[in-house]
Structure 1
Amino acid sequence: MSSTELPPALATTVTPKASAVRVAAGERLRSVGLPGITLSVRSRPPARAGLPPALYVHGLGGSSQNWSSLMTQLDGLVDNEALDLPGFGDSPPPDDGNYSVTGHARAVIRYLDAASRGPVHLFGNSLGGAVATRVSAVRPDLVRTLTLVSPALPEIRAQRTAWPTALLSVPGVARLFTRLTKDWSAEQRVRGVMALCYGNPNRVTPEAFRDAVEELERRLALPYFWDAMTRSSRGLVDAYTLGGQHGLWRQAERVLAPTLLVYGGRDQLVGYRMAQRAARSFRDSRLLSLPEAGHVAMMEYPDVVATAFRELLADTDELTSSAAVGAGS
């Protein structure tokens, strides 16, 4: 058994979630208790019974909310669930304090095993893309298709705009940054993040901006916010240095699931030039290049990403299977 694989969870506790986290119309939020972790899971009631399950994994500093627009686009096609990784969104820190890529992958595997939802259509963005790649490599039985939006896979020469994120992994930097930015408002911080993550920040609606500010204010008040950010950043940097069978590019080569790769031409965190290497590494892949998109194409262009996913299903006969399930329900 791989170090990332875990036996099925012995018990799971599912309770409705009551929190300050925004829940969009048609969404539900619940808390799932598993050995060593508690995960907050966002879902949309399936349009009909029998739809194939999908699971979405967010990036560093993100949350399950990052997938709300895409989940809406895919209503009626899949049974949507998005989780908050341990220490992010509305999920508390893991009991063992493990924020490595492997630790996050274990959380995803633990949830899928306990929920018996696999194989799923697995989605990942940024850090979540690295996590989803590892899950797909070590547990192919859990993954039906894989969709990666700007996956955080190792780059020899990272863009300068990505250096501050990597620097968070250096001991003491997060504390220093917190001290230097103590007078920044949540609005200033959100504008900075959106300028970094969006190809065109003007695509963000006033309502979405307000929601992001409220969410950041809530998260900044959490005692573990910076610890989760710092340790997850360090875990990602550590994953970049792994060689052999545990290296992320080597694991990408082991992925069996049909894979959709989405890269943005204005991505300031993951190099657009990495798209071709990814297309060569994932054995059954197709590439969607969006020249105007940034790091979060599923938020900027959810309709375009949804169309590409439908085409992936059509190419792999998954769309036909899903339609057959609907006709028989």
Structure 2
Amino acid sequence: MLRAAARAEHSSKPRKPAAPDSGRMTPRDEHDTDTDTHAGAAEAADRTPDDTVLPLPGGGLRVRQDGPRDAPPLLLIHGSASSLGVWDAMVPLLTGCHRVVRVDLPGHGGSAAPADGDYSVPEQARRVGAALDRLGVGRVTVVGHSSGGYVATALAEERPALVGALVLVNTGPSLDAFTGPETAGLDPAAWPPGDDVLRHFASSAFRTGFAIPQRLIDELRTADFPAVATAMRASTAYLAERPLPDRLIPLGTPLHVVFGAQDRRWRPSSAAAYSAVPSATVTYLPRTGHTPPIEDPHRTAAVLLAFTTARV
């Protein structure tokens, strides 16, 4: 979010979503009690969240994993001035089918700023790819929200054998689709401002009238302003170099685009530009703005799962 700077911001078959009581063990013969206990412990360990900072060359990258480790992997990448927490409400809806991996991009959340100061989108993608290699994640479906969609696309460009499919959530296809404010009127030297200013600044990331959660304001207050502003300029440069549909057409990667019909940062009708990609499908969410993972997590998760499970 920080600034609408320069106009931008497998393994195995997927499991069907679990029924509410599917976590209960199936009753067995009483002589199998020990087996049940060990199996239950193993299953619990397999689903235990793992939140850590991976020590990578140039700076650590925070990663969090949820869900069974043997399920098809799903990588979630946040957008500008955000963190992996943007996906919190969606993750429990996805772990019945997927091993969910989330990252904090360099200079965001719990991840270090790159030692060499390189926030270019391809470099961010390379660092995310290195994290997946360290985790032993194979072919993966990658989901990017907003400018996180540029990192997702760059990862597919850099590592086509790693990225099996892409989902872009409210990711602007080209600079001329940007409709957000030219500037947030924020002074880096006076950062952070008060809550009212932060709330006004963040408001365009949501549909009109949406109550922005206080935790997002608190997170924004602690953001590294120079890091986020530099990363946003890098996103602008990446998009200015080549519109996203032009990048995606030669890749042939299966693509699904999800777009909030009440987006106040990118012209919603611009999502139609992705139709030029032969593998693309587009879904509009009618009562959602720029941030569907927070505004409508259930609907967004349902659309995402319909895409990922239909591919196998």
Q: For 2:221 and 2:90, how far apart are their aligned partners in 1?
A: 24
Distance 1:237 1:258, change over 3 A: same
- Equivalent in 241, 244, 250 of residue 248 of structure 1: 244
- Equivalent in 195, 200, 220 of residue 216 of structure 1: 220
List structure 1 runs of 4+ shifted beyond 6 angstroms: none
Residues 180-259 of structure 1 aligned to structure 2 (within 5 Å): 184-185=193-194, 187-202=195-210, 204=212, 209-219=213-223, 225-243=224-242, 248-259=244-255
Q: Is 1:158 matched with 2:178?
A: yes
Q: For 1:189 and 1:253, how far apart are their aligned partners in 2?
A: 41
SS of the equivalent of 1:37 reads coil
Q: For 2:56 and 2:106, how far apart are their aligned partners in 1?
A: 11
Distance 1:33 1:284, change over 3 A: same
- Alpha-carbon deviation of 1:50? 1.6
Distance 1:278 1:217, change over 3 A: same
Distance 1:307 1:249, change over 3 A: same
Distance 1:112 1:191, change over 3 A: same
- Alpha-carbon deviation of 1:81? 1.4
Match of 2:267 in 1: 271
- The alignment yields a C-alpha RMSD, in angstroms, of 2.2
Amino acid at match of 1:163: E
- Equivalent in 282, 287, 290 of residue 292 of structure 1: 287
- Structure 1: unaligned runs, 5 residues or longer: 1-25, 166-172, 220-224, 318-329
Q: Is 1:178 matched with 2:188?
A: yes
The 10-residue stretch of structure 1 (76-85 or 261-270) with the greater mean CA deviation from structure 2: 261-270
Residues 76-91 of structure 1 aligned to structure 2 (within 5 Å): 76-91=96-111
Match of 1:303 in 2: 298
Q: For 1:227 and 1:194, how far apart are their aligned partners in 2?
A: 17
TM-score of the pair, normalised by structure 2: 0.78
- Alpha-carbon deviation of 1:27? 4.8
How big is each residue's C-alpha offset from its partner over 1:93-138, in whole Å with a ceiling of 9 and x where there is no partner? 0111011111211111221223220211211011100110121133
SS of the equivalent of 1:275 reads helix
- Alpha-carbon deviation of 1:265? 1.6
Amino acid at match of 1:191: R
Structure showing greater radius of gyration is 2
User: 8 Å contact 2:193–2:221 — kept in the other structure?
Assistant: no
Match of 1:59 in 2: 79
Residues 32-181 of structure 1 aligned to structure 2 (within 5 Å): 32-44=54-66, 46=67, 48-159=68-179, 161-164=180-183, 177-179=187-189
SS of the equivalent of 1:254 reads coil
- Give the number of equivalent residue pairs: 265
Amino acid at match of 2:246: R
Greater RCO (CA < 8 Å, at least 6 residues apart): 2
- Alpha-carbon deviation of 1:150? 0.8
Calculate percent identity across the aligned residue pairs.
25
- Structure 2: unaligned runs, 5 residues or longer: 1-47
Amino acid at match of 1:69: A
